[in-house]
């Protein structure tokens, strides 16, 4: 499974999670293969929610951490079969513990 997380800074697992993909300068894709978890950081160049969804789909993302998602965005993501997880995550390490316990 691949999970995308918007983050404010590149601080590894201490990266603060953004509430919104549109204002996040970066996003991280977490993926698990066997017992290993891969963490990859990408610069966020998307200009709209649709851009974000299409970029994430191109990277094979199935689940998105999106703490403050609007109904419009929720519908757009669901149409593309991207599962949205709401939650108050402070750091990337919190997301990692939640998604891959």
> Per residue in 15-42, pLDDT tens?
999 988 888 999 999 998 888 999 999 9
Question: Each residue of 40-76: b (16+ CB within 10 Å) or e?
Answer: ebeebebeebeebbebbeeeebebbbbbebeeebeeb
Look up the pTM and report it: 0.90
- Report residue 78's pLDDT band, with 50, 70 and 90 as the boundaries: confident
Predicted confidence at residue 67, as pLDDT, reads 80
Predicted confidence at residue 33, as pLDDT, reads 84
- Of all residues in the chain, what percent carry a pLDDT higher than 70? 100
Predicted confidence at residue 100, as pLDDT, reads 85
Mean pLDDT within 60-83:
86
Distance between CA atoms of 14 and 35, rounded to whole angstroms? 21
Domain boundaries along the sequence of the chain: 2-99
Predicted confidence at residue 52, as pLDDT, reads 87
Predicted confidence at residue 74, as pLDDT, reads 84
Q: Out of 3.40.640.10, 3.40.50.620, 3.30.420.40, 3.30.420.130, which CATH number does the structure's domain 2-99 have?
A: 3.30.420.130
């Amino acid at each position: 499974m691949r999970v995308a997380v918007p983050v404010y800074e590149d601080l590894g697992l201490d990266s603060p999670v953004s509430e919104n993909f549109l204002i996040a300068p970066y996003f991280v894709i977490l993926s698990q293969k066997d017992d290993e978890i891969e963490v990859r950081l990408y610069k966020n160049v998307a200009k709209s929610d649709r851009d974000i969804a299409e970029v994430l789909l191109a990277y094979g993302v199935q689940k998105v951490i999106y703490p403050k998602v609007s109904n419009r965005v929720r519908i757009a993501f669901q149409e593309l079969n991207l599962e949205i997880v709401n939650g108050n995550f402070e750091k990337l390490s919190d997301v990692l513990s939640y998604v891959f316990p």
